[in-house]
Structure 1
Amino acid sequence: MKTFRSAPFPLIATAAPGLAALLLSASLLAPTAVCARESAQAAPRAVAPRGALLSEEQAVVSLFEQSSPSVAYITTETVQRGVFGGAEVSQGAGSGFVWDASGHVVTNFHVVKGARRVFVQLDAGKPIEAEVVGGAPEYDLAVLRLKNVPRTLRPVPLGSSRDLRIGQTVYAIGNPFGLQRTLTKGLVSALDRELPTANFREVAGVIQTDAAINPGNSGGPLLDSAGRLIGVNTAIRSASGSSSGIGFAIPVDLVNRVVPSLINRGQAPLPGIGVTPISPDQVARAGISGVVLGAVGRGTPAASAGLQPYNPQTGDLGDVIIGVNGRPVQTLSTFVGELERAGIDATVELTVRRGEKERRVRVKVIDLRG
């Protein structure tokens, strides 16, 4: 908010009697001349004809008009412990979009995490209370279901993120800083970024865009020029906390795999090979590059491949995973990202180091949640 300060009241010095009379007569005559000039200029100017919008402009206008009814304004109530031990209710806000005609709305997990109550406002209607039917912190995705489903729901059309190209035009619609249905335009700036989420996991194939994304845009749709969903706006990289031209969106191909599972089961599949890794902090402090195995589950693909865990009695590191499908793996988050990239039921080739020797083993990726 700008602060406007009043101009200081002008100081009038005491003058000689003759000069004072001259100033007084001038002050009495001046308003009449000013009013005459103002009355001559009081008529409003004619408006110049606009003509038709440029075809590019009309395309964007149509995209917004078709897509905005599918965008949701999400508000939450969360109970937190106060400074003196009492309970305090805090409010949050974010964005989302209509997934289907059954009243499911998709947003980011961090938008609704820990919420006691969730409300969804669609188009110009009143807020509708919703319940969280599933959440996947590993993908930062959540699904809500409206308790009162309007007949006029308009699910956002789905696109594909697999065939995106750097330089494509994209549009973000959301509620930055609580300003509902804000449209921003940009480009696909980069592809195949990695986005850290929860439990040392990363989302692979993330879309980077320079479309302005700010706090409150989280969970809103990223659209292509055909108005199709290609991503879910999730994060920005900024020192100030506001848009700096680097935003990230979860790719729609991943969203289209996770969301149906959240609707049906309340949770998303979790790709893995049946190992329990040692904490990345401990591995980093030991100066080790790769994934050190703390345990290998019985009957898992990792056990079938003959992988051996760290032995605390002898100090033998066992098998350290340093690559997946020819790509180097230096951290646990990188390893998890490669499993996400491969997908459940895929077979991956691991590069494993034991002592000074390296070997390659093939392992099937399974759903750890069964």
Structure 2
Amino acid sequence: MLSFLSTEGSSASSRELSRRVDDQDDILLDAYSQTVTGVAERVSPAVVHLNVRKPVPQNRRQQRQPGGRDSGSGSGFIISSDGFIVTNSHVVNGATSIEASLPDGRLFKAEVVGDDPATDIAVVKIDGNNLASMAFGESDRLRVGQIAIAIGNPYGFQYSLTAGVVSALGRTLRSQSGRLIDDVIQTDAALNPGNSGGPLVDSFGNVIGVNTAVILPAQGICFAVASNLAKFVVGKLILEGRVRRGYIGIAAQTVPLPPKWTQTLELPTSGGIQIQSVEDGGPASIAGLEAGDIIVQFDGRPVDSIDVLHKTLDETTIGKSATLWVLRNGGLKNVSVTPGELR
């Protein structure tokens, strides 16, 4: 009898524990849902649909009337109340006309302010006031596994949202201009044609990336230009209309350095950028840099991330010899390199 009562009590406890676990799962799922819907409500007024017309490529004109135009679409997001919009370079490059459609139904003619094919970032402007806008977050604080929400206008449909996670950081992606974009975010938040140029946001609604590409026919492999790089490029485009920059011809990613290296070699930083590949005939190749090398300093300035290198390689570095500190095979090496101008 005592044994029977003990078994009954154990079963009841198990059922109670299972119920509590189920309740906790429901609470967590509801919290996730509330987060996503909250972000959608906050940022959706600042996401725009771009309808773009471009000249028909020469090899297709025979199929159309002379002077014909190609039409396409993409997404963008407003970053200032007076109408500056961030999108992809490949969406607006070569456009003869751009029309921006806001979620409230208003239509605006948009003009290209600046275009940077090297990072697939562009800025267009509409003549508006008191517009809803979005803010850039800090992509260097991202962690693999955190929530990532993509917003855009796939296939021309007005406003769609997909949610996923940050799948990987520090990817390298070749832009449509043929250049390599460093420090790209990989996400499984679904992107489709028309999502290009839309924002990738975190759980607070901050822009952590600019959606730029999806790998087909693979599923769940999508990419966004990291917000820190995008923010730097956008600032240059708004002020100067272009980004004139030096380049050394590498693809690289940010890596942490083992503490024993920083202490033993007395390095100026706890991180560096590891070269993944070297462009044939480029400045880095001529200087003797190799895949696997880790750059920790550029002409006396610590380089602990891709963002720092991009900002360091400004127009003042073009054609001027610079000394790099490079880690190779556990030792520190000085390498002289002369940056060229990125075209």
Please report the TM-score for the alignment, with normalisation by the length of structure 2.
0.69
Aligned pair 1:67/2:43, yes or no? yes
Paired residues of 1:258 and 1:269 also in contact (CA < 8 A): no
Equivalences for residues 268-279 of structure 1 within 5 A? 268-273=243-248
**Aligned mate of 1:152, from 130, 133, 138:** 130
Paired residues of 1:344 and 1:367 also in contact (CA < 8 A): no
Match of 1:238 in 2: 216
SS across alignment from 1:321: coil
Change in CA separation of 1:256 and 1:365 when aligned onto 2, cut-off 3 Å: farther
Structure 2: 5+ residue stretches without partners: 1-28, 250-276, 296-304, 314-322
Match of 1:76 in 2: 52
Distance (whole Å) between structure 2 residues aligned to residue 291 and residue 219 of structure 1:
27
Change in CA separation of 1:325 and 1:93 when aligned onto 2, cut-off 3 Å: same
Equivalent pairs counted in the alignment come to 264
Change in CA separation of 1:323 and 1:97 when aligned onto 2, cut-off 3 Å: same
CA-CA distance at 1:272 after TM superposition: 2.0
Match of 1:326 in 2: 294
Match of 2:22 in 1: none
CA-CA distance at 1:360 after TM superposition: 4.2
SS across alignment from 2:234: helix
Max radius of gyration: which structure?
1
Change in CA separation of 1:83 and 1:351 when aligned onto 2, cut-off 3 Å: farther
**Aligned mate of 1:179, from 157, 161, 181:** 157
Amino acid at match of 1:342: L
Q: Deviations over 1:44-72 (max 9, x none)?
A: xxxxxxxxx93432332221111100101
SS across alignment from 2:85: strand
Distance (whole Å) between structure 1 residues aligned to residue 73 and residue 205 of structure 2:
24
Match of 1:332 in 2: none
SS across alignment from 2:41: helix
Amino acid at match of 1:91: S
Match of 1:104 in 2: 84
Q: Deviations over 1:89-146 (max 9, x none)?
A: 1210000000112311000000012110001111222220010010000000000011
Distance (whole Å) between structure 2 residues aligned to residue 365 and residue 228 of structure 1:
37
Paired residues of 1:324 and 1:349 also in contact (CA < 8 A): no
**Aligned mate of 1:264, from 203, 216, 239:** 239
Paired residues of 1:344 and 1:365 also in contact (CA < 8 A): no
Please report the TM-score for the alignment, with normalisation by the length of structure 1.
0.64
Distance (whole Å) between structure 2 residues aligned to residue 293 and residue 105 of structure 1:
37
Aligned pair 1:229/2:207, yes or no? yes
Paired residues of 1:233 and 1:248 also in contact (CA < 8 A): yes
Instruction: Report which stretch shifted further, 58-67 or 246-255.
Output: 58-67
Paired residues of 2:228 and 2:307 also in contact (CA < 8 A): no
**Aligned mate of 1:140, from 113, 120, 125:** 120
Q: From the two aligned structures, give the one with the greater helix fraction.
A: 2
Amino acid at match of 2:222: G
SS across alignment from 2:290: strand
Aligned pair 1:56/2:32, yes or no? yes
Match of 1:368 in 2: 341
Equivalences for residues 191-340 of structure 1 within 5 A? 191-197=169-175, 200-239=178-217, 244-273=219-248, 290-293=278-281, 320-323=288-291, 325-326=293-294
Distance (whole Å) between structure 1 residues aligned to residue 306 and residue 143 of structure 2:
23
Paired residues of 2:229 and 2:307 also in contact (CA < 8 A): no
Match of 1:123 in 2: 103
Paired residues of 1:172 and 1:184 also in contact (CA < 8 A): yes
SS across alignment from 1:234: strand
SS across alignment from 2:141: coil
Amino acid at match of 1:138: A
Q: Deviations over 1:284-312 (max 9, x none)?
A: xxxxx954547x7xxxxx9xxxx9x6xxx
SS across alignment from 1:158: coil
Structure 1: 5+ residue stretches without partners: 1-52, 276-288, 297-301, 310-318, 328-337, 353-358
Q: Which runs of 4+ in 1 moved over 4 A?
A: 289-292, 338-341, 363-367
Paired residues of 1:271 and 1:365 also in contact (CA < 8 A): no
